[in-house]
A = this chain, B = another copy of it.
């Protein structure tokens, strides 16, 4: 019998985790620089929270893991971090507003895995709750941009507005209650061709003329389309420029799949690869679904898995291995290990292996430096330090070891 991961989930090995940790650290630090504070919510949510009408919507619920616990309570694994935030805000009425929160956590969607999409994936979200100004939308985009810049990712921000899309749908003759259904198809323009999206719209019962009219409008240039909602996007553009952000474009074909958006919507795409690395928008009605109060909100979610795929360069940690040339230096070696662990990442032999085996291990396990503890060296209060990359060795007095290692010229990989 072979043991494997649940389909659509994967492990991350130490090298991959170092890269993920770097990404998360940079993102977290940027979120905090922008004044966002962290919350955590459970991975498990009551089904009535996740399935609330007007929250994520039908499309996403079809992909949501759902089960009964032992008490027959209906539970789901969260499909995003936004609906749980809305519940959190409703349950914490005394939060000073605006509440700028970030959350980094896994979400689950039972989606198509044929193109390498994961069913368990990590998201990093920022949201501003309780600010209706478009300045708040600019702020979340500025924060996301700042994080991606620090990660040296080449990206483009696409912006649109649900208000504009609603106006387009109205002009094309689509009834209010069918708008969301049409938008869900348009949202697929990233993944499938225009013809396929049209075909899907036809199959949903939208007429040829209506569909052609929609496409004419969503393909028009911002300055050509005189339509409700456009002022809001112009304001967002102005604020973004004030923040020094110019790599954005207004794109009327951007729809975003979730039901809850009400105003500006945005997506960040990598220039290197197709596919979005972040998405979000304004959702002024979502919190009201869980609370009796109407509280406006906007936010963006960074997809860590995509960033992880794109990122090539990241700083690697330097780790030290303390090797014992013979077993009788064990107690001295332990002392050196204990001392070095106050400043460095240090491992040593736990198996009583020969020195040559220890060196092979240190090489295979990716240590940058080996400190060799030998009987003779100890008599001179010395150890031998080996740079594993160059193979160079040097004898160092034990009292100088710490400062030597601190100043060691590690080669950048």
Residues of chain A whose beta carbon lies under 8 Å from any beta carbon of chain B: 1, 3-7, 9-14, 17-18, 20-21, 32-35, 37-46, 48-49, 65-71, 73, 75, 87-88, 90-92, 96, 98, 100-101, 106, 108, 110, 120, 128, 130-133, 135-136, 139, 146, 242-244, 290, 317, 319, 321, 331, 334, 338, 341-342, 344-348, 350-352, 361, 364-365
Contacts and interface: CB of A to CB of B under 8 A. Distances in A.
A43 B96 contact: no
Nearest to A87: B3
A3 B73 contact: no
6 contacts: A6-B45, A6-B73, A13-B39, A14-B39, A34-B346, A130-B351
Given A39-B12, A345-B32, A350-B136, A244 B338 contact: yes
Contacts of A4: 46, 91
Contacts of A108: 44
Contacts of A48: 1, 3
B334 A242 contact: yes
Contacts of A136: 350
A199 B243 CA distance: 70
Contacts of A128: 350
A110 B43 contact: no
B3 A120 contact: no
Contact of A33 (B10, B66, B110, B346): B346
A11 B42 contact: yes
Contact of A3 (B3, B7, B133, B290): B290
A67 B77 CA distance: 12
Which of A33, A34, A68, A136 has the most CB atoms of chain B within a 10 A radius of its CB?
A33
A66 B67 CA distance: 8
B101 A44 contact: no
Contact of A350 (B40, B43, B133): B133
Contacts of A42: 5-6, 9-11, 120
A35 B351 contact: no
Tell which of A91, A92, A130 has the most Cβ of chain B within 10 Å. Answer: A91
Nearest to A38: B17
Contact of A331 (B12, B92, B242): B242
Given A37-B14, A38-B14, A3 B341 contact: no
A65 B77 CA distance: 12
A86 to B, nearest CB: 9
A35 B338 CA distance: 12
B20 A40 contact: yes
Contacts of A12: 39-41
Cβ-closest 7 pairs across A and B: A35-B347, A67-B67, A9-B42, A14-B37, A96-B364, A17-B38, A12-B40
B351 A13 contact: no
A341 B21 contact: no
B39 A92 contact: no
Name, among A7, A66, A317, the residue most crowded by chain B CB atoms within 10 Å (CB to CB).
Answer: A7
Nearest to A120: B42
A131 B361 CA distance: 13
B131 A351 contact: yes
Contacts of A346: 33-35
Contacts of A131: 350-351
